[in-house]
């Protein structure tokens, strides 16, 4: 049996920068500025997680969920922040869906106030470049709940290709949902 390397409890994912954004590890102080975005039901209409009903829900996300991922050495979720004001307005992540098959999965969300500004594309482009360079996946996939046209547009702008729909494959909030699969291969990313 192989021993897993011990990570320091202080380990955090790398900080990534774009022209407008900083993508960085979540910290406890992020709960308050993130809460209004995570508490908006419009933001979570197509997410696997439900809107945050209290500041405690958001504190749990930034303190417990994100910290646990970092303790496992998983470099996600990253806070999506403007450079001018490093308060988070969303999140982006890329994690192993199947490490033996070299397949990662991309996810993102942005506060409603900031929709239509290309932030999800900009943040995801930086996260994808880092994932391909640092982790070596052959494939990065993304799942979209049927009806989420803005998310499909984000993926198309990133060069993802539609692969198919798994009908009624997700029981979410009491309803069965169709899930659309998209993927970007290493050769497509390097060629684009």
pLDDT at 175: 96
For the chain, helix (H) and strand (E) counts, in that order, are 6, 8
The predicted-structure confidence for 86-142, as pLDDT tens digits, reads as follows 899 999 999 999 999 999 999 999 999 999 999 999 999 999 999 999 999 999 999
Sheet holding 161-172, edge to edge: 16-17, 21-25, 78-82, 88-98, 103-110, 139-145, 175-185, 161-172
**Percent of the chain at pLDDT exceeding 70:** 96
Q: Is the pLDDT of residue 76 over 70?
A: yes
The predicted-structure confidence for 32-46, as pLDDT tens digits, reads as follows 999 999 999 999 999
As a whole number, mean pLDDT of residues 174-186 equals: 98
Which pair of tokens denotes residue 23?
A: 């993508």
- Closest Cα to residue 91, out of 57, 72, 68, 114? 114
Q: How confident is the model at residue 11 (pLDDT cuts 50, 70, 90)?
A: confident
């Amino acid at each position: 049996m192989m021993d897993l390397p011990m990570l320091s409890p202080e380990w955090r994912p790398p900080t990534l920068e774009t022209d407008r954004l900083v993508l960085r590890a979540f910290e406890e102080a992020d709960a308050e500025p993130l809460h209004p975005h995570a508490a908006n039901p419009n933001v979570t209409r197509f997410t696997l997680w439900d809107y945050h009903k209290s500041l405690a829900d958001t504190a749990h996300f930034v303190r417990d969920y994100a910290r646990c991922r970092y303790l496992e050495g998983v470099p996600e979720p990253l806070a999506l922040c403007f450079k001018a004001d490093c308060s988070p307005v969303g999140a982006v992540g890329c994690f192993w869906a199947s490490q033996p098959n070299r397949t990662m999965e991309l996810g993102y969300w942005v506060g409603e106030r900031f929709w239509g500004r290309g932030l999800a594309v900009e943040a995801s482009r930086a996260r994808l470049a880092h994932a391909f360079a640092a982790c070596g996946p052959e494939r990065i996939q993304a799942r979209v709940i049927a009806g989420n046209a803005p998310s499909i547009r984000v993926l198309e702008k990133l060069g993802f290709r539609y692969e198919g729909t798994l009908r009624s494959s997700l029981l979410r909030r009491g309803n069965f949902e169709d899930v659309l699969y998209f993927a970007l291969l290493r050769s497509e990313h390097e060629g684009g």
